Structure 1
Amino acid sequence: MNAATTGAPAIAPEAGFAVWLDENAEAIDTSPQPAAAVLPQLGRAGLLRVGVPAALGGAGGTTVDAVESIAAVARHSLAAAFVFWGQRAFIEYLLQSENEALRTRWLPPLLAGEHAGATGLSNAMKYLSAIEPLQMNARPLDGTPTRFALNGALPWITNLRREGFVVAAAFDRSDGAPPAIFAVPHDAPGVRRSDDLDLIALRASNTAALELENVVLDDGWLIAADARAFLVRARPAFLGLQCGMSIGLARRALEAVRASSPAVRAALEDDATSAAQRLDVLTRRLYDGMTSGAFVAAPAASFEVRIGLAEVVADAVQLEVQACGGRGYLRTSGAEANSGVARRAREAAFVPIVTPSLVQLKNQLAAHRRSNAA
């Protein structure tokens, strides 16, 4: 499936941005130096506006179109697509929030790529699936539920841009009320960002740990007063946008196989055709589930798609490694180099561990099957 089949508005990166991605993909993956440039480039390319209503400053279209946009970027750089996912997921939270004032304030700089939005809800998604407890706490101040002291720590959040960010996080309530989701600005007193995590790849993704110590915010920063109900609605978009990274990476690897020599293509044709067919089937299942709303009531179906796409990525990149042969182990630059196959092998290794990881999703599916059997 390509952008044309979804009716998406301006999904593929414009030519100048695509060239910039290709020229900088290796550096974005291996060095933190380009970190400041990635988000503004996404903003200038207009990709952050895809799937956002025109009335709110977007380019129109649907969340499925936003998934295709992330896939288009992932063809060039998974690290850039990872940043795109974090930003677009936060934008999606604002679109689904009932807090109109928060949305009005933050959408313009987020859509322009002038300010970073980070999704610190990986812990919350695991909480929703009973994988782990919430790691953040909100304590009402002054005896009223309008001002809160926020405390806790999250060990891994992407798109914590040093130039400025706002992060979504879920908090247990010490007063017994349902957990809530807050947007936390980087410059609130008590917010501490760690140094960038020492990742083996995706190093320009502004990925760091976050600690909150008595951060005082009022209810104007609430994304959702009932975290569980909100997360159930938002999870299909959270996972769907995440799947865009897998779709794009798999497409790029299979394109490389198709562009190899006739002898290599003949040797790998059956496996490559099988992978391409599985990719198309899973992509259609993803888009159908997101469009129909089926994934809200049946999240296990979205877990199966996410697992299947990760498996296709692994197969597709291995096929590209085979097609490239020994050339993939050369560190030289230029047309005779590996053309990104080594980077895509590193990128593919990351796909299974993106939260929720494949292990966590498989455990959830096993629990779901046991429950159905009982």
Structure 2
Amino acid sequence: MLDPVLSHWLDAEAEALDLGHSDPQHVLSQLASANVLRVGISPQLGGTGGNLADALEVMASVASHSLASAFVFWGQRAFIEYLLHSPNTGLRERLLPDLLSGQLAGATGLSNAMKFLSGIESLQVRARAHANGWALDGRLHWVTNLRKSGFVVAAAIEREEGGAPFVLAIPDGLPGLQRSDDLELMGLQSSNTAALDFQAVQVAQEWLLHDNAKVFLPAVRPAFLGLQCGLSIGLARRSLQEAEAHLQGPRSGLLELLNEQKTHLEAQVDALKTGLLEGRFLTNPAALFNIRIALAEATASAVQFELQASGGKAYLCAHGSAFARRWRESAFVPIVTPSLVQLRAELLRQAKVSA
């Protein structure tokens, strides 16, 4: 259950956040004030306890009000998860308090790296080693939560001299690091989503998250992708909830179909939670990929069902603006990295290898 103050703010600002009419600076501070960033993190580290399934449920609750806010939430929470998995305890101790309080924005930056892990794409940032760290060159084309008042971004880096790629946390403000203007998206505009260019950016050894990306990335992928599924879950639940409110009179015959969609959705949610808590996706990522695909399809079906239940009212501006926003939000779910196309391609590749 979300804090009522946060729920009210999200509902009031959802349309403006999606269209870019609301200051993106406020999103993280609102989430932090409601303590949602601390869920699933040990109290010893500044969290409120619980586990990753609890964090997933909070993520879904935020998404049911505003996918733009949930997208920011996911970026922040995923970066926090990287710190929790990093052997660099000094970096975690230095950054975690400001990340949990919302004073510092954390950007995942690992979408390219996750595609690299599946052999879909090469790494886009390269490093030349020097005595105290590295000089970075390259570009990250799409990164969320690059808040202009201060951010730190995670990136997987190719070594120019060869060897295993590694993962860095890179703070803003370094010479040679350039943030683009916000990308002109169809929705989710107030999410501080932009590109980053690196030109001989000097990063010290103290910012190392892990010295081997091929070890680190599979370890954090369940949280990266599992929490991302919260966007689908929250949006699907909200559309089905809205649809139910319309199923009266001549449309009451659709109630059975509604219940079927709810049952299918929650079965996938249960499978996701079980896999995350049991660690099953560490050794069987294909199971996670299939759940992500199923949840994306369930979201598309839920939004379509909401349209059918609403009828022509969905096309009246006075009644349908929230539905139109959910329609735009649902269009994002299949393409957020890893996209459904990428996941299906990886599943086909794995099937050929095991055949």
Same fold (TM over 0.5): yes
Q: What are the residue-to-residue correspondences of 1:1-374 with 2, within 5 Å?
A: 12-142=1-131, 146-263=132-249, 265-332=251-318, 337-338=319-320, 340-373=322-355
Change over 3 Å in CA distance of 1:126–1:264 after alignment to 2: farther
Deviation at 1:265, TM superposition (A): 4.7
C-alpha distance in 2, partners of 1:92/1:184?
16
Conserved 8 A contact 2:39-2:47:
yes
Write the letter of the residue equivalent to 1:238: F
Deviations 1:7-51 (Å, cap 9, x if unpaired)? xxxxx3200110010011000001153211101000001000001
Secondary structure in 2 matching 1:309:
helix
Aligned to 1:9: none
Deviation at 1:120, TM superposition (A): 0.3
C-alpha distance in 1, partners of 2:204/2:350?
38
Secondary structure in 2 matching 1:133:
coil
Change over 3 Å in CA distance of 1:188–1:283 after alignment to 2: same
Deviations 1:157-189 (Å, cap 9, x if unpaired)? 000111110000000112223101000111111
Conserved 8 A contact 2:247-2:255:
no
Conserved 8 A contact 1:286-1:302:
yes
C-alpha distance in 2, partners of 1:16/1:265?
34
Aligned to 1:7: none
Write the letter of the residue equivalent to 1:361: L
Structure 2 unaligned spans of 5+: none
Deviation at 1:339, TM superposition (A): 5.9
Conserved 8 A contact 2:13-2:22:
no
User: Which stretch shifts more, 50-59 or 25-34?
Assistant: 25-34
Structure 1 unaligned spans of 5+: 1-11
C-alpha distance in 2, partners of 1:45/1:34?
18
Write the letter of the residue equivalent to 2:354: N
Deviations 1:219-256 (Å, cap 9, x if unpaired)? 10001111110001100000001000101111111111
Write the letter of the residue equivalent to 2:336: V
Write the letter of the residue equivalent to 1:342: A
User: Which stretch shifts more, 322-331 or 96-105?
Assistant: 322-331
Secondary structure in 1 matching 2:126:
strand
C-alpha distance in 2, partners of 1:55/1:32?
38
Secondary structure in 1 matching 2:119:
coil
Q: Percent identity?
A: 52
Secondary structure in 2 matching 1:259:
helix
C-alpha distance in 1, partners of 2:242/2:337?
28
Conserved 8 A contact 2:17-2:69:
yes
